Amino acid sequence: MTTERSAAFHMADIRNKRPTRRRAVAVGELRAGPVAFPMIVERRLPKGDALTMAEVAGMQGAKMASQLMPLCHPLSLELVRVRCEPVPAHHAIRVYCECAAEARTGVEMEALAGVNAALLTLYDLSKPVEPALAIGGIRLLFKEGGKKGLWLHPDGMREDERAHYKPLDLARLDGVRCAVITLSDRASSGEYEDRSGPELIDGLRKLGAEVTDIDILPDGIEPLAQRLRALAAGGVRLCLCTGGTGLSPRDLTPEALRSVADRRVDGLAELLRSESAKHTPLAWLSRAEAVQVEGMLVLALPGSPRAARQGMDILAPLLAHALAMIEGGTHA
């Protein structure tokens, strides 16, 4: 009989996640009261300048998040910025902590740790003149990055907060006509259900795109080449293909794209390979391709649901900008 048992907790395994730019801002308040508040603002507390010390403590707290919380991943932070804002209306000091890094996991715990450290420091320096202090309203204001993009707290943001931090979401594809084509002999003959195409459709619709054309074609050059010409002539602006990018004799999707291309977009193809390789080294065997056919951007992704989903995450931040460039303009 064994006495061993599995732990009731574990650190999340993030090895297969792709590093992306992450940013988070947290906020909280110290209710200082009418006695301590002016002394904090005027920097007259007996222990010294509480506002400056709180900002230093907030930066230190953000950097020590993984030491304070056992399951928090240690991150190499690239930005920690702490800001203390007096709120005279209710004798409070509002503290913000902004953290950023390129990482496989978010930086929201670092931002929250920074806010808490700053608020506790304000409390410590203020208690000699006012023991009836209160800390509250601590929350994550927003976070950016990762496959989910921008997340805003349901309680919302004030206009001055939004203007100061300028949270960024993925550029939308609202109203853009798109097509999704799956290349597979077996799927086109009905031998198995296509699961890669629906991943791309779902990703496009989350960006607001109108997926007006959905096809499942057999592998080969001419069926796909004909369909791409028709879609471009019909006003479709973006076409995502999945399948046929490997090394088997029937994997001919790149050849089909090149046969109708007005120009190649090599940068996007290389981006797909290099970023996908952060998930799996097998990505370097993919012959992912990107071309322009008249006014339509066409991208060929590998033919597995996981690769399609990852490819959509990689491309999402760039698609609207690429389409704007094809139209001859810039995207805000």
The answer to whether 289 and 269 have CB atoms below 8 angstroms apart is yes
Tell me, what amino acid is at 204?
Answer: L
Helix axes 305-326, 196-206, angle to 10 degrees: 40
DSSP string, 7-19: -S------TTSPP
Geometric angle at alpha carbon 83, from 82 and 88, rounded to 5°: 150
Neighbour count for residue 156 (Cβ, 10 Å): 10
Cα(81)–Cα(114) distance, integer angstroms: 9
Inter-residue contact 136 to 31 (CB < 8 Å): yes
Q: Determine which one of 13, 49, 124, 219 is catalytic.
A: 124
Contact 150, 210 (CB under 8 A): no
Interacting residues of 194 by C-beta distance below 8 A, sequence separation 6+? 182, 184, 187, 216
Cβ-in-10-Å burial (0-12, 13-18, 19+) of 206 comes to middle
Cα 259 to Cα 277: distance, rounded to the nearest angstrom? 27
Specify the DSSP element, H or E, that contains 234.
none
92 close to 31: Cβ distance less than 8 angstroms:
yes
124 assigned to active site: yes
Active-site residue numbers? 124
